[in-house]
Amino acid sequence: MRLLLVEDDVELAVRLSKRLTAAGFAVDRAADGQSALEWPDLGSHSAVILDLGLPRIDGLSVLRQWRALGIMVPVIILTARGNWQDKVEGLNAGADDFVVKPVHSEELIARLHAQIRRHEDRGAPLLTAGNLALDPVARAVTREGAPIDLTRQEYRLLEALIRRPGHILSQADLLERLYPLEAERDWNTLEVQVSRLRRKLGAGAITTVRGLGYRLEP
């Protein structure tokens, strides 16, 4: 898998490149926003790690121009700016994830794999479990052919469960799906979301396995 690392801090770029290469990625590097914007074969990359404070053209401007051009490669913003306003601005510009420096390489690698999987899943076939069907392209859910109206969080929760029907998913796994950008995750909110989704899907669709997590019955 090829990555483009856009980072003007040479020491950090070298360190990250070594760790990403050791994790199995082929890493290309750009040191400024103009070089990133003019990168010739970005469509062949699996993901981009993008700093915001870049020389020549800032990271957000680069990202906005990529998205305007229809370049939909997953982009993880890596920056020292960590307040919620910066996160919102980054997401609105088209970022897929937001990581604040300093970051452990293991966390960055895990987030890369998660975003790459999500990007690949956009063209995935219909997901089914029993009389339920989820279309990951249309983001639509049906039961016996009848549409089910779900909130965004309910959809994310069901998508995580329906990818592994009959398997127990822990609360931590599900919270990562629901709140991928939040430092703090609310366990009580997850229980509420599961309860609401269970009512919409029908009795017996989701089983609570005490102390372990939740399971979507196949």
Distance CA 21, CA 198 (A): 43
Tens of pLDDT, residues 43-86: 778 899 999 989 999 999 999 999 998 888 999 998 887 677 87
Rounded to whole angstroms, how far apart are CA atoms 160 and 154?
10
Residue with tokens 């939040």: 182
Q: What are phi and psi of 75, to 5 degrees?
A: -125, 125
CA distance 77 to 91: 9
User: Do 110 and 133 lie in a common domain?
Assistant: no
Pairwise CA distance, residues 74 & 143, whole Å:
31
Amino acid at 128: T
CA-to-CA distance for 187 and 172, rounded, in angstroms? 9
Q: Are residue 16 and residue 110 in the same domain, yes or no?
A: yes
For the segment 102-133, what is each residue's pLDDT rounded down to a tens digit? 888 888 999 998 888 877 766 557 888 988 99
Question: Are residues 141 and 65 part of one domain?
Answer: no
Residue 37's domain comprises 2-121
User: What local confidence, expressed as pLDDT, does residue 180 receive?
Assistant: 52
Q: Are residues 81 and 133 in the same domain?
A: no
In angstroms, rounded to a whole number, what is the distance separating the alpha carbons of residues 17 and 87?
Answer: 24
Task: Give the count of domains, the chain.
Answer: 2
Same domain for 89 and 105? yes
Same domain, 106 and 160: no
Domain of 183, CATH number, reads: 1.10.10.10
> Rounded to an integer, what distance in angstroms lies between the CA atom of residue 215 and that of residue 204?
10
Evaluate if residue 38 carries a pLDDT over 80.
Answer: yes
Kindly state whether residues 54 and 157 are assigned to the same domain.
no
Instruction: Answer yes or no: do 65 and 133 share one domain.
Output: no
- Residues 129-183 have pLDDT tens digits of 988 998 876 778 998 889 999 988 898 899 889 988 999 999 888 887 676 544 4
Residues 117 and 161 in one domain: no
What average pLDDT is seen over the chain? Answer: 87
Q: Which of 80, 99, 121 is the last residue of a domain?
A: 121
